[in-house]
Chain A
């Protein structure tokens, strides 16, 4: 089952040149974010006293220029990308686990339990999420863990709805009946028979919610209620750059381009994945 899913996805994506390009850009950026900071000549907090606010390509070794304090912008951007990606990936993973488990159990149990569980999701859905995330970060202090929890706390709702709908349909199928007859317990049926069969929509939605997490983290950060300066993510750099854009536009352009490129590529890839997995599009 999963084998055919992967080959389908691969075949569909192989036809889509833009999707391949996006995937390649993402791979390069991710590699650069992981390995780049240690390969380049400067550290992210190292101050080059002789090159302050240098434009790109002018000062030796500072390919994308430096900021007001003489810190290398390329290293800082790659480092910020690493922080942003790490938080977003972790938050998406948290919401993926909660959402899939919640939805799969609700759909499998059906009836009153299902109604109760999904009513809970509805209620959380009606809350103004961004504002609650702000309250959470205010209450529990600023920091990557709070942001992670705050994003994860709301991110799973849509995933739960999607998974529940699929699980409801799946549990009527004969192979589930067979598993029940075979004596498999609920947890085993869900883990081995339900979840593997709804990987497609789960992957698509997870891909599409990753940029959401990046943007939400950046948004909080930009407002000054995210992670602190020492652990600068991309949006810290963007906020700094926006303050200096009249005299040093590259300080805004470099991190902003990086953020937009990443979000655009993930969004584009997610769209192509959805089209590839959506039978109506064939």
Chain B
């Protein structure tokens, strides 16, 4: 029961944030000088007026906003200004599964690489292994995805020829290997640093000394007693990690030619396709909020204190 109430309260708390995202992105795009029909050859005024009327752009801003929000509540993101035959909803439905698969795989890989590395570094604190690991981790957070991705393509795609350079054939998982690795490296480095720091902190706690005093083997002390507590910051990093993976997927999808949402967003931004950009930003925001909620739930599962700290 307490969990359900917690989830409900957090879901309600997400509504103002999402409303703010919608309002801000709408206002910002309407503030912009120039519109989506500016950059083509100059249109005759009648045609332009007709176009604007067709998209409702001739209405006052508050009417446009009302219509947009009304549409959103019905799950309608409006028409795309540039992809004339598609609605934004269709473009999102097209790209979302690819982006989600890419992002989820990247997060899993990042956890699988980062947590063990962090544990090893923490246990070897101050020794060569620790310093080497943490230097690699700093390198990892210093190499941006748009450098990693071309380098991976050059080495594994072109020189060695092991993996496809780019492209997307449904049902060919090798297409995803390089994009996923490119996306996962920097969060993995961050997770390794987080794990190391918090494990070192936890290992100083009195209850760890108590566990050792009871004569438990070191492996049990580390894995069963220290690690769950040490992973709390890693789990709360899920939100920011998702944000960085989603942002990185803009680059990765563009570079590898994956038909995800990110490519549409970049194209939309360059084309001033406002409805498309707004729709995508709203979906990304909703995703991040959902992931933050999941992270909080996981934290509560790992650490009963977080649940008790929020009474009522």
Partner-binding segment picked from B55-63, B92-100, B212-220, B247-255: B247-255
Shortest beta-carbon distance, B143 to chain A, in Å?
A: 5
Q: Judging by beta carbons under 8 Å apart, are A136 and B28 in contact? A: yes
* Complex-state Cα separation, A136 to B32, whole angstroms: 9
Interface residues of B in 20-53 (CB under 8 A from A): 20-21, 24-25, 28-29, 31-32
Interface residues of A in 238-262 (CB under 8 A from B): 238-239, 241-242, 245-246, 249, 252, 256, 259-260
B250 / chain A contacts, CB cutoff of 8 Å: 130, 223
A267 / chain B contacts, CB cutoff of 8 Å: 138, 141-142
Q: Judging by beta carbons under 8 Å apart, are B24 and A219 in contact? A: no
Number of contacts between A and B (CB, 8 Å)? 119
Kindly supply a per-residue 1/0 record for chain B positions 141-158, scoring 1 wherever the CB is within 8 Å of any chain A CB and 0 otherwise.
111111100110110001
Q: Judging by beta carbons under 8 Å apart, are A219 and B247 in contact? A: yes
Kindly supply a per-residue 1/0 record for chain A positions 43-84, scoring 1 wherever the CB is within 8 Å of any chain B CB and 0 otherwise.
000000000000000000000000000000000000000000
Q: Judging by beta carbons under 8 Å apart, are B243 and A134 in contact? A: no
Q: Judging by beta carbons under 8 Å apart, are A238 and B146 in contact? A: yes
B154 / chain A contacts, CB cutoff of 8 Å: 245-246, 249, 252
Count how many chain A residues have C-beta atoms less than 8 Å from C-beta atoms of the other chain: 41
Kindly supply a per-residue 1/0 record for chain B positions 120-153, scoring 1 wherever the CB is within 8 Å of any chain A CB and 0 otherwise.
0000000000000001001101111111001101
Report which of B142, B270, B289 forms a contact with A224, defined as CB distance below 8 A: B270
Report which of A126, A134, A252 forms a contact with B269, defined as CB distance below 8 A: A134
Known: A136-B28, A139-B31, A223-B254. A128 touches B142 (CB 8 A): no
Known: A123-B20, A239-B146. A135 touches B266 (CB 8 A): no
Known: A127-B24, A222-B251. A134 touches B146 (CB 8 A): no
Indicate whether B285 reaches chain A with its CB closer than 8 angstroms. Answer: yes
Indicate whether B284 reaches chain A with its CB closer than 8 angstroms. Answer: yes
Chain B interface: which size bin?
Answer: 35 or more
* Complex-state Cα separation, A139 to B150, whole angstroms: 29
Q: Judging by beta carbons under 8 Å apart, are B138 and A271 in contact? A: yes
Chain B residues within CB distance 8 Å of chain A: 16-17, 20-21, 24-25, 28-29, 31-32, 135, 138-139, 141-147, 150-151, 153-154, 158, 243, 246-247, 250-251, 254-255, 265-266, 269-270, 272, 277, 280-281, 284-285, 288-289, 292
Contacts A18-B135, A135-B277, A218-B144 known; list 15 others, CB within 8 Å.
Answer: A126-B17, A128-B288, A130-B246, A131-B281, A139-B29, A140-B32, A218-B146, A223-B251, A223-B266, A223-B269, A225-B269, A249-B154, A252-B151, A260-B147, A271-B138
